[in-house]
Structure 1
Amino acid sequence: MFVAVAEAGSFAGAGRKLGVTKSAVSKRIGQLEAQLGVKLFTRSTRAMTLTEAGERYRAHAALALEAGKQAEDAATALQDSPAGRLQILAPMSFGRLHIAPLMAGFLLEFPDIEADLALDDRHLDLVEQGFDVAVRAGQLHSPTLITRKLTDLHSVLCASPEYLASHAPPRAPADLDKHNCLHFAHASDAHHWSFRKPGEPTVRVETRGSYQTSNSEALMDAVLGGLGIARLPTFIAGPAIAQGQLHHLLSDFEMPSQPLSVIYPERRYLPVKVRAFTDFIVEHLGTDHPEWDRF
C-alpha cells in the first residue's frame, strides 16, 4: 500500500488502484508511520511527497515487492492452466478497437483468469505500475522487457468527400500548406509530416490547421465531418476508406510506420497467464497484412 501511495501521490489515487477506500489507505499509512516512528510523507492540499525517510523506505519496499513477485511467478509457473489476476495495458484507441473485442473470447477460453485492461497512450513503466503485459507501438530498447512483434502500424493522409468537394486534393506534400490540417496532439512530430516514395529522399512538411486532439478517434470524427485533412493510423481509418467515407490522399507516397508489439517484463519464471495472453494476441493480431490495411 505504501508503494501505491508513493506512485499515485495521494491516498485517493492509491485507493482507486488498490480497490479500497481513501480512508483505509490513510489509516494504514498512519499505522505504518507510527510503527516506524518517522514521517514517510509530506502532506499538502495538492499532493503528497516522500520525506527523506520515505525515499529510503521506498527503495527497500520496491525490492521486497519484486522479490514477492518473483516468488509468485515461480509458484504460478507450475500451474496446469492459466489462472489469477492479469493486468494488461494497451493504447487508448487501438485497445478499444482491437484489443477489447478480443477479451471476451480470451476469458471464455481461460475462465480462471481475471483480467484488468487499462487503456492509456502514455508509455507507463510496467513494473512500477504493476502491469503483467502490454501492447505497445513504437521502437522498444529496454533490456528489461521481452518483445514479440505483432505487425507494423501504418498511417495515411485522409479527407472526406465533403471536404474534397470544395478543396482541390493535394498533388504533392507541398500542397498541404493550402489546406486545414488536423493534428494528433500526442505525436512527437504532430505538425511535421513526412512522405517518401521508394528510391527517393524523404519529404518533410510543416502543417497548420484549426484543430488538434489527443485521441485518434476524435481526430477521425473531425475528418469525417469535413473539417480538413489528417494523418490517421490505418487501424482506425482503414474501414472508413474501404467504405468510401474517407479518401486516401497522396497514395503514391508512404508515411512512416512503427512496429506494434506485445511486451512483458523479463522474468526468470514467466507466469502461465502471461504466456496465454501473449500467445492469444499473437494468434489474432500477429500478421504482416492486418485486416485494417485491406482497402
Structure 2
Amino acid sequence: MDRLTEMEAFATVVDQGGFTDAAKKMGISKSAVSKHVSSLETRLGARLLNRTTRRVSPTEIGLAYYDRARRVLNDAGEADALVTAMQSAPSGLLRVSAATDFGVNHLSPALGGFLHEFPDITVNMVLNNRYVELISEGFDLAVRIGELEDSSLRARKLADTHKMMIASPKYFEEYGRPEKIDDLNEHKLLHYSNQASGNVWKLTAPSGEKRQVRSAGWLTVNDGQSLLNAAINGLGIAFLPSFLYSDALREGLLEPAIKDLPVETQGIYAVYPPGRYTQPKVRAFIDFLVEQFKDRGPDEW
C-alpha cells in the first residue's frame, strides 16, 4: 500500500478519535481506513493504536509516530499547494521599492506594459532614496543599484550602469577642466545628500589606487535629476550614473570631467525576500524587468 496514505489514515484516526469519523473525513469506507492502519502497523512491527469498543487512542509509540507523520503530511500538503500556486496566474498586490532617480526615469515608463500584460496584478511602487527593509516593511521586491549589502536576500541582475563625473562645456570654459583627482579640490562639486558617506566621492585613479574626494560642494540635493540639471546649467561637476546622464552626454550637453579616469560600473538588481519559492506576481515582474532592460546599459539608456 501507499506509505503516505497509510500515514494519512493513521493520523486522521488520531485527529478524529476513531475510524468512523476518520473515514468520513477522508471520504473512504471505514474498512479501508482500518486496512490502511493495519498495514502500517504490520510494516512497522508495532501497535500504534489502542482499540476499545468506546474509543481509539494512540499508544506511546503511536503518539511519537503521529508527531513525525503529521509533519510529513503537512509538508506534503505544502508541496502540493506550492505547485498549484506556481502554476496559477500572477495576481494580487505587488509592493515595489526603488530609488527615485531610477524609478521615475526607467521603472515608471515600463509599468504600463507590465500592467496590461498582467491585469490581475495591482502595483504599489514606493520611490524614495532610503534603504528599506523588505520583510519588516512589507515589500515584495526592491530595485537596488550598486553593491548589495544584505546577502540573505535573493537577487537577479537587470542591467549595468556606469558612474562618472560629468559637467557642461560651459562649466569647463569658465572654470577649466581638472586633469587629475587632486584638481577636484579647486572645483565646484555637486553632491547627492542621501549618501551614507556624506559629501565624499570614492574614485579610482588611473593607477588603480582607490581615492576619496571630500568637498562641501556648491550644491547638495537629494535628487539625481536635480543634480543633472545643475550640471547641464554649468553649476559644477556631478558624479552620476549613466541611466541619468547618457542622453545629455550624447547630445553634447555634458562631457566627462577627467577623461582618462576609469569608469565605475554598478549593477542594477531586483532583490526579493528569501524563501522556498517565488510568488508568481514577483516572478512575473522580475521576468518582465529582465526583458525590459536586456538591451540597456551600461551607457545605452
Whether TM-score is above 0.5 comes out as: yes
Matched, 1:250 2:253: no
CA distance in 2, matches of 1:189, 1:91: 17
Given the superposition, is the C-alpha separation of residues 228 and 199 from structure 1 closer, same or farther in structure 2, using an over 3 Å criterion?
closer
Give distance in 1, aligned partners of 2:274 and 2:165.
38
Corresponding residue number in structure 1 for 2:230: 222
Counterpart of 1:235 in structure 2 is 243
Q: Which amino acid aligns with 2:95?
A: Q
Rg (Cα) greater in structure: 2
Match among 188, 199, 207 for residue 196 of structure 2: 188
SS in 2 for 1:230: strand
> Does the 8 Å contact 1:194/1:255 carry over to 2?
no
Equivalent position amino acid for 1:203 in 2: R
Q: CA deviation at 1:81?
A: 1.7
Aligned to 1:87: 95
Question: Higher mean Cα deviation, 251-260 or 273-282?
Answer: 251-260
Structure 2 match to 1:293? 299
- Give the structure 2 partner of residue 158 of structure 1: 166
Deviation at 1:206, TM superposition (A): 2.5
**Mapping of residues 102-113 of structure 1, within 5 Å:** 102-113=110-121
Evaluate the alpha carbon distance shift between residue 218 and residue 76 of structure 1 in structure 2; reply closer, same or farther with a 3 A threshold.
farther
Counterpart Cα distance in 2 of 1:108 and 1:78: 21
- C-alpha distance in 2, partners of 1:253/1:210? 23
1:87/1:194 CA distance change after superposition, 3 Å = closer
Q: C-alpha distance in 1, partners of 2:149/2:191?
A: 27
1:148 to 148, 156, 161: 156
Contact 1:194 1:203 in 2 (8 A): yes
Q: 1:81 is aligned with what amino acid?
A: A
Deviation string, structure 1 residues 243-277 (Cα, Å, up to 9, x no partner) = 11111121211254432110111122321111100
| Aligned residue number for residue 26 of structure 2 | none
Contact in 2 for aligned 1:236/1:292 (Cα 8 Å): no
Which aligned segments of 4 or more residues in structure 1 are displaced greater than 6 angstroms? none
TM-score normalised by L of structure 2: 0.67
* % same residue: 36
- Residue 161 of structure 2 contacts residue 297 of structure 2 at CA under 8 Å; is this kept in 1? no
Counterpart AA for 1:162: K
2:176 maps to what in 1? 168
2:282 pairs with 1:264: no
| SS of the residue 1:270 aligns to | coil
- In 1, Cα distance between the equivalents of 2:137 and 2:282? 16
Residues 151-178 of structure 1 deviation map (CA, whole Å, 9 limit, x = unaligned)? 3332111111221221111111111122
Cα RMSD after superposing both structures:
2.4
> What's the CA shift for 1:197?
4.7
Amino acid at match of 1:269: Y
Q: Deviations over 1:100-119 (max 9, x none)?
A: 11100011111111111111
Unaligned runs of 5+ in 2: 1-77
Instruction: Tell whether 2:290 aligns with 1:273.
Output: no
CA contact under 8 A between 2:161 and 2:298: conserved in structure 1? no
Following the alignment from structure 2 to structure 1, what is the Cα–Cα distance between the partners of residues 260 and 235?
A: 23
2:140 maps to what in 1? 132
TM-score (norm 1): 0.69
3-state SS of 1:104 partner: helix
List gaps (5 residues or longer) in structure 1.
1-69
Letter paired with 1:219: L
Distance 1:252 1:158, change over 3 A: same
